[in-house]
């Protein structure tokens, strides 16, 4: 049997897997002991990946390009050259007749970083449109904005390795025991090796992760900012901030102090529905710990004020200087294995590759030089929901969908279905049955039965 190393496509941990196959059939999957995310461990989903590639399942999956040249026609098998030529012709015609912004790409955190980069270079560099957005918009855009607003770049300043060095772990809006199980095993290992580690979980629900916490703050939904502001209030009151770090590495801290002055533990307790003394305990554990790490996910991000949620928890690290050191920092957990990789290469409609700022003319010129094009568009493209509204209005004439199923995962599905039916052409990518994946364009509105990817 041959073996191919790859990555599990499910959660945001991004576990390394070794795929056992005979060049045509996948017969087994095991964890990669050399991969730094999981060191050979797999959860139930990762350990049963090969069962998604059985002959019975594969009989229902799309394995070759299928093409229909008119909307109402039946799809028929086509060669790769014919399918790609057809897609190129449709896009070229839309661009020639309606301009670059008449086409769009809706991509996914399931893509490899290189795939993400090529999609962005194709759209923003060659075609000249920023209409490239991703299903990461639905879950991670708040983290992007939060990092940019506080740290200046969408780049988490820590990693999984910091779990092994943290003295206090603040888990907020994340049920890692269920959603990131291999990562949770790492947390358990770190705690076993360092029994004095304190774990604080902020979650309205009593989850499996909360059950493992030393302190569970079951706040009322939507009250995160009051909690973190109150924790910062305590840190200031009890002189647990790092004044030297604040002076040397931050701006605007006096304004933040003025905001949190009124957020006493008693006031926040009334807002959040938790005990004031528990807020004080959380702040002391965080402030007194030599190293404090925060892990947070959709509970913070998927909110009408998700960016402010992210900023509030990052403020705790900046105020105490617990950032840029082993075991310290704000670490946003993703929902997909490569949501962060996509963001690093400009995978959203308002981003550029290598964390360059689309609003900065010098950054746009730098990327244009690298790509060998005259310029990169300055106006941000359509974000996920905006994009499909534009499809519905008929403004988007050609749409390429890769590794995601917006017909199931976007809000207001009936309207999304209507939009896709109106689109001049749309393409959907599915995975090939072998360990090496190739894009499979099909001129259709939905993936064929049995070929859906995870809807996120």
pLDDT digits (tens, 9 = 90+) for 219-263: 999 999 999 999 999 999 999 999 999 999 999 999 999 999 999
Residue 289 has pLDDT above 90, yes or no: yes
Q: Which residue has the higher pLDDT, 320 or 141?
A: 320
C-alpha dihedral, 246 to 249 to 252 to 257, nearest 10°: -20
Give the 3-state secondary structure of residue 304.
coil
Residue 455 has pLDDT above 50, yes or no: no
Alpha helices in 166-275 (DSSP H): 176-179, 181-193, 208-211, 224-237, 243-249, 253-260, 265-272
Q: Chain-centre distance of CA 324, in angstroms?
A: 22
Residue 34 has pLDDT above 80, yes or no: yes
Residue 402 has pLDDT above 50, yes or no: yes
Residue 314 has pLDDT above 80, yes or no: yes
What is the reported pLDDT for 283? Answer: 98
pTM of the shown model:
0.87
What is the pLDDT confidence band of residue 424, given thresholds at 50, 70 and 90? low
Q: Residue range 277-305: average pLDDT?
A: 96
Residue 59 has pLDDT above 90, yes or no: no
Look over the chain and give the mean of its residue pLDDT values, rounded to a whole number: 90
What is the reported pLDDT for 39? Answer: 97
Share of the chain above pLDDT 70, in %: 93
In the block, tokens 């360990």 appear at 435
In the block, tokens 């290469």 appear at 345
What is the Cα–Cα distance from 171 to 43, expressed in whole angstroms? 20
What is the reported pLDDT for 436? Answer: 33
Q: Is 92 left (phi over 0), alpha (psi -120 to 50) or beta?
A: alpha
CA distances to 78, 295, 392, 409 from 90, rounded to whole Å, are 16, 44, 18, 26
Neighbouring-strand partners of residue 295 = 171, 331
What is the Cα–Cα distance from 115 to 14, expressed in whole angstroms? 16
Q: Phi and psi (nearest 5°) for 369?
A: -60, -45
The winner for highest mean pLDDT among 122-126, 352-356, 407-411 is 122-126
Show Cβ contacts of residue 326 under 8 Å, excluding neighbours closer than 6 positions.
161, 162, 165, 291
Residue 148 has pLDDT above 60, yes or no: yes
Tokens encoding 80: 């790769």
Which structural domains are found in the chain, ordered by start? 2-58 (3.30.200.210), 66-136+340-429 (3.40.50.740), 142-332 (3.40.228.10)
Residue 454 has pLDDT above 70, yes or no: no
What is the Cα–Cα distance from 16 to 35, expressed in whole angstroms? 5
């Amino acid at each position: 049997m041959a073996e191919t190393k790859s990555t599990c496509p499910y959660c945001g941990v991004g576990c390394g897997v070794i795929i056992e196959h005979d060049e045509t059939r996948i017969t087994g999957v095991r964890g990669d002991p050399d991969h730094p995310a999981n060191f050979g461990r797999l959860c139930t989903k990762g350990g049963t990946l090969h069962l998604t590639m059985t002959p019975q399942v594969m009989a229902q999956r799309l394995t070759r390009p299928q093409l229909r040249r008119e909307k109402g026609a039946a799809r028929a098998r086509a060669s790769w050259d014919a399918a790609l030529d057809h897609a190129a012709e449709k896009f070229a015609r839309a661009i020639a007749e309606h301009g670059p912004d008449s086409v769009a790409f809706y991509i996914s955190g399931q893509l490899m970083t290189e795939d993400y980069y090529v999609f962005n270079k194709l759209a923003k560099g060659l075609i000249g449109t920023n209409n490239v957005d991703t299903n990461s918009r639905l879950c991670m855009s708040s983290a992007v904005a939060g990092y940019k607003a506080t740290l200046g770049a969408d780049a988490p300043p820590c990693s999984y390795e910091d779990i092994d060095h943290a003295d206090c772990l603040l888990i907020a809006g994340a049920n890692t025991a269920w959603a990131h199980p291999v990562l949770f095993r790492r947390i358990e290992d770190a705690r076993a090796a360092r029994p004095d580690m304190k774990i604080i979980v902020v979650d309205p629900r009593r989850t499996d992760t909360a059950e493992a916490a030393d302190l569970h703050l079951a706040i009322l939904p939507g009250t995160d900012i009051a909690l973190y502001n109150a924790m910062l209030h305590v840190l200031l009151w009890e002189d647990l901030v790092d004044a030297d770090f604040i002076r040397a590495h931050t701006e605007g801290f006096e304004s933040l102090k003025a905001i949190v002055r009124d957020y006493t533990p008693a006031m926040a307790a009334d807002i959040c529905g938790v005990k004031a003394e528990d807020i004080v305990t959380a702040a002391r554990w965080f402030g007194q710990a030599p190293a404090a790490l925060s892990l947070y996910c959709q509970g913070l991000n998927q909110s009408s004020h998700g960016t402010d949620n992210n900023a509030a928890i990052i403020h705790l690290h900046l105020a105490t200087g617990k950032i840029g050191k082993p075991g310290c920092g704000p670490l946003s957990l993703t929902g997909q294995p490569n949501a962060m990789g996509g963001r690093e290469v400009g995978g959203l409609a308002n981003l550029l590759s290598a964390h360059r700022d689309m609003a900065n003319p010098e950054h746009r010129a730098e990327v244009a030089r690298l790509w060998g094009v005259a310029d990169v568009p300055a106006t941000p493209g359509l974000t996920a929901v905006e994009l499909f509204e534009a499809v519905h209005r008929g403004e988007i004439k050609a749409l390429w969908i890769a590794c995601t199923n917006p017909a199931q995962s976007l809000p207001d599905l009936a309207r999304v279905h209507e939009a896709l039916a109106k689109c001049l052409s749309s393409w959907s990518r599915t995975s090939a049955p072998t360990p090496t994946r190739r894009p499979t364009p099909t001129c259709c509105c939905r993936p064929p039965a049995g070929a859906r990817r995870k809807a996120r």
